[in-house]
């Protein structure tokens, strides 16, 4: 029901009698979302680094900066709005 209502992808492979432990299912869903977020972040960083000149100020900021600095670079180079 949760999968249908929320469009989630909670695994039912270990369901017993048609029932799934909701907590376990939600934990799996959250882990899947975290993994997708990590992959998306890695792709964005790779795209940004390909646009920059190694050793430049922006390149170093992309590698060593904090999340806010990288977000500013993503905006500056049109990776995000």
Question: Which residue would you say has higher pLDDT here, 15 or 40?
Answer: 40
* Residue-level pLDDT at 51: 96
* Rounded alpha-carbon distances, angstroms, from residue 73 to 22, 46, 64: 39, 12, 12
pLDDT at residue 1 tops 70? no
Please, which pLDDT band fits residue 10 given cuts at 50, 70 and 90? low
Q: What is the pLDDT of residues 17-50, one digit of tens each?
A: 666 677 777 788 889 889 999 999 999 999 999 9
The sign of the CA dihedral 69, 81, 37, 58 is negative
* Residue-level pLDDT at 52: 97
């Amino acid at each position: 029901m949760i999968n249908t209502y929320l469009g989630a992808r909670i695994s039912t492979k270990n369901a017993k009698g048609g029932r799934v432990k909701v907590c376990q299912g939600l934990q799996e869903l959250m882990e899947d979302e975290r993994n997708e977020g990590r992959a998306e972040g890695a792709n964005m960083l790779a795209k940004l680094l390909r646009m920059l000149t190694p050793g430049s100020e922006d390149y170093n900021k992309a590698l060593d900066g904090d999340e806010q600095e990288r977000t500013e670079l993503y905006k500056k180079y049109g990776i995000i709005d």
